[in-house]
Amino acid sequence: MKSFLTYILLLASLGVSAQNAILKGKVVSQGGYLQKGAMIHVVGVDTVFTNELGYYIVEVPSGRQITIYASVGTERTKNILPALTPGKTYQVDFTLDIANEIPEIEFGVTKREPYDGVDRIKPRVIESFPTVGGAENLIAKVGLGTNQTTELSSGYNVRGGNFDENLVYINNIEVYRPFLARSGQQEGLSLINIDLVEDISFSAGGFEAQYGDKLSSVLDIRFKDPKEFKASTQLSLLGAQFHFEGRTALGRLSYLFGARYRSNGYLLGSLDVQADYNPRFYDVQSYISYDLTVDAKLSWFSSFSQNRYLVSPQSRTTNFGTAQTAFQLFIGFGGSELMQYSTIVNGLNLDWDINDSLNLNFTISSYNSQEREHFTVEGAYRLNELETNLGADNFAEANALLGFGYFIDNARNDLVANVIAFNHQGKQINKWGTFQWGATYKMEIIRDVLKEWRFNDSSGYNLVVLKRPNPNNEIILDEYLRSNINLQSQRVMGFVQQDVVLSKKYDARLNIGVRSNYWTYNNENVISPRAQFSFKPNKAHNDSLRRYSYDIFNLDSSRLLYYDSAKKQDWTIRAAGGYYYQPPFYRELRNLQGQLNPELLAQRSIHAVLGGELEFNAWGRPFKLVTEAYYKHLDRTIPYIIDNVRIRYLAENSGQGYATGFDARVNGEFINGIESWFNFSLLQTKERLYYTDENGQEQRSDWLRRPTDQRVNFSILFQDELPSNPSYKMNLNLVFGSRIPFFFSGGNRYVDGFTIPPYRRVDIGFSKVIITGDKAKVKWLENAQSLWISLEVFNLLQVNNTISYVLIKDFNNNIYGVPNYLTGRRLNLRLILKI
């Protein structure tokens, strides 16, 4: 009734203008489905959107020709009207060529996106969850087959792959992780600013040919297209950020701007290393679009970030072992460590609709990263055995000295990376479906000056001297790396793919495509055929349950489509597979000695994915269950070791292996009106390596667990609120990951190593919506959408999660793996204002 009255009042207000005319109507798909949120653009006049029922109304000038467009996504249709009579109302309906791809009206909620192996995540749904890191930490809890082993890093693993095997796009521009970072606390801000993002698309494997050449996954970030002015500000104990967006009065220019500042010093104070932490991270991003014509849009994306991590360590005390045998490591430090990198990304894009069936897109982008890693840190350590007898007077205190030593770590590493890319993509609607193509040219220039060494003296003896003669008592370093590398190369890439509707009765679709990638450095060209197939086995049954009701506006007695939801069997089955190559980037090219291998070839993974999606109702609320089983055959792989977040490659194609597993996720309104996610994954990934032994003989290892072989992973993002007062909310972020292997060095990579204990973490937030715009009593908050405050507890259970180990020797030459723990429990206070 409220919507009906609003509509009548709107008609009355528009009717008072005798100089104008009124256009009204509906937007439907070819199948007759009314389209909520379709854009109606009257050239040079106004832009409006269809309401919940798919109808629109707009006032236009009379006495002249009117051009009006209706669009949903990239589909658009046009209507040219002659001069209109003042004060008259005209009915103008639109039918878009979108079949059944766009949501239908269904029991009061919007039908979700079609199941194509891509998770589509709305930032506003996950932004309220507590997290130490950036958006990637939350995406890893929602995306299938995704896990993290540290809360401080933006890196994530997908179905047995490492951080470097994930493809990340922002507005069609590929972005990269920092090259020199050794630990998560050095990384700073990721490039994803959640305030600016409209859509997040994530695929864990079996993705289409249009996406680039990585082994594991693709993350596609799309920024907002603002329609009106909005702004937000966020303050917390870890930093601050704000953004604003809008569109000019004429509607042709839109702008989006965001800035962030972060300092992790408070958080890092919970680490074992007591130090003077001085991290400082900030960035500025903007996205500006201008409608050249109604069919062409020019946009500019720009990002600048400065991440500086300075620390002067003082001491470290770490207790480890078991209840029966406990140890304590104490280290006194001197010196300091500086990790600094700045990143500049720019991209110019032209999006042009040639006609209703042809779209062309052109992008020119540049990525520049300047990184500096300078440190000199010395330390003297003492290893003690602790008293474990509960009745002893010195319980939990040192009762025996097992060893002591001294070390110096030194590095002067500088790296500059530039990537310039020219990209073109096109899309054409034909009689079979949608045909897409693309071509990319990249030029990469990398300058790396590497100089680092380590000296270790255990119990008065240099460990290297003990292994070889040293008659002159020279100082012999345990490790010494020095190189000066200039790498310039080009890549030429392209793809074609065709989407075909095989059967409308079962909504059966097939996408087939192929990619090509050529790299001048090793003169290798790889071809990657890929295919995806999906269908709805129960679609005919569901269509038989259609019911109709008449539109309350009675504009033309049109009928609204809905279903008898209780009887629906809404299954979608999907299969996907293909070849996925990953040509080496700079990090894979450089071996443990700091040298490049120009003979290194692209790694290869053959994907096979079978999955299903069920949309169902429970307790009268919508839910979705997604399950996928997969197998990936891996060959020509490059072995590596992971130390914290630093991946060090052996720079040789000496591995072959596999990854197989099962992923499941259920998400929906466990609490009415609030969405939550439950993810569960099983994984096994192994490999065998070919190597040369000490006698010069070629050997093949046994099947070894890969460094990312986390067999079980479980995560929850859960939201709740007080039924009697919904302004009080709770957000829970829980994750469990089973043990993973750990390899100390490349020399022991060919045998099973240590294992890192399970990763267990619970973050929880309690928030209160203080005001909303219609309840604000303070004048300067009258235009506020919301103001809320949140108290967050990081690592609620105070679990000492291990990220890596450091090796220590005692007097008897026994080796101890001392764990490097992640952050402990911390409180955080957030204040969020949205306008």
Rounded to an integer, what distance in angstroms lies between the CA atom of residue 256 and that of residue 289?
A: 9
At residue 792, what is the residue type?
A: E
- pLDDT at residue 687, as a whole number: 95
Question: Alpha carbon of 367 to those of 75, 173, 187, 346, 444: distances in Å?
Answer: 31, 9, 17, 7, 9
Q: Is the pLDDT of residue 306 over 90?
A: yes
Residue 445 contacts residue 418 (beta carbons within 8 Å): yes
Residue appearing with tokens 């679009």 = 289
- Percentage of residues in the chain having pLDDT higher than 90: 53
Among 153-167, 446-460, 669-683, the least confident range: 446-460
Q: Does position 559 have pLDDT exceeding 60, yes or no?
A: no
Once rounded to an integer, what is the mean pLDDT over residues 450-467?
67
The arithmetic mean of pLDDT across residues 65-91, rounded, is: 82
Residues 6+ apart with CB under 8 A from 421: 173, 174, 363, 364, 365, 366, 367, 440, 441, 442, 443
Least confident of 133-147, 310-324, 358-372, 500-514: 133-147
On the question of pLDDT at 239 being above 80, the answer is yes
Per-residue pLDDT, 98: 64
3-state secondary structure of 262: strand
List the one residue out of 657, 646, 647 whose CA is nearest residue 690: 657
Return the pLDDT at 580. Answer: 96
Q: What is the pLDDT of residues 726-762, one digit of tens each?
A: 889 999 999 999 999 998 877 778 888 789 999 999 9
pLDDT for the residue 464 = 46
What average pLDDT does this structure show over 441-448?
A: 96
In this predicted structure, what is the pLDDT of residue 758? 96
Would you say 660 and 605 are in contact if contact means Cβ atoms under 8 Å apart?
Answer: no
CB 83, CB 15: distance < 8 Å: no
* Partner residues linked to 421 by β-bridges: 365, 442
Average pLDDT over residues 509-520: 96
Whether 384 shows a pLDDT value over 90: the answer reads: yes
pLDDT of 487 above 90: yes
Above 60 in pLDDT, residue 557?
A: no
What totals of helices (H) and strands (E) does the chain contain, helices first? 6, 50
Q: How confident is the model at residue 9 (pLDDT cuts 50, 70, 90)?
A: very low
pLDDT tens digits for range 108-117 = 223 344 556 7
What average pLDDT does the structure give for the chain?
Answer: 85
More confident residue, 103 or 301: 301
pLDDT digits (tens, 9 = 90+) for 617-647: 888 778 899 999 999 999 999 999 988 888 9
For the chain, the straight-line distance linking the first and the last C-alpha, in angstroms and rounded, comes to 29
pLDDT recorded at residue 114: 54
Q: Residue type for 111, please?
A: K
Q: What is the mean pLDDT of residues 519-542?
A: 91
Q: Is 63 exposed, middle or buried (0-12, 13-18, 19+ CB in 10 A)?
A: exposed
Q: What is the pLDDT of residue 74?
A: 53
- Residue 740 confidence (pLDDT): 94
pTM of the predicted protein model: 0.81
In this structure, of 96-100, 121-125, 375-379, the range with the lowest mean pLDDT score is 96-100
